[in-house]
Amino acid sequence: MIDQLLVKVGMADLNIACDGAQLKTTGLGSCVGLTLFDPLERIGGMAHVMLPSSEIAREAKVNLAKYADTAIPELLERMIAAGAKRERLKAKMAGGAQMFAMSSQSDTLRIGPRNVESCTSILSAYHIPILSRDTGGSFGRTIELDSSNGILRIKSMQYGVKEI
């Protein structure tokens, strides 16, 4: 058996993979693991999005992978540079949990749902369909995208493993 290459995507990070390599990120709570896949070229991309908008950025040099509004365009740019076509891209996402019970429903405390909403809105603006998602809840996830077929494997302590 041949071991497939594993490309790790850290928190507030993004990367692409092809030739059957696996993209993997762990620790998705309120963060969203957003994946894109070009089925013809078999190029996959993954972003570990922490926050919905770079408008709240306080760092001197903005980490493009940290925010939905900057991570998605950056991921698109890298995938297109590798040979993917935007019109063929399909998205899947997981995460966006509400990890802590809050007595207040203040919008600033709804990080997970806001991350999902922001990613959904940005993908819609690019006309990239979301084929499936495993978002919300109050539990963490680890995800792996197979760049040979676009299958997204989601692992959680509460629900085991599922593929979308």
Tokens 């979301």 identify what position? Answer: 130
How are beta strands 22-28 and 43-49 bridged, if at all?
unpaired
Kindly tell me the burial class for residue 139, based on how many C-beta atoms sit within 10 Å of its own C-beta (0-12, 13-18, 19 or more). Answer: middle
Token representation of residue 145: 């995208």
Active site residue 18: no
Residue of 16, 31, 97, 152 marked catalytic: 31
Q: Which of 155, 135, 153 is nearest to 145 (CA)?
A: 153
Check if the beta carbon of residue 35 is closer than 8 Å to that of residue 93. yes
- The values of phi and psi at residue 116, to 5°, are -65, -45
Number of residues in the chain = 164
The set of catalytic residues is 31
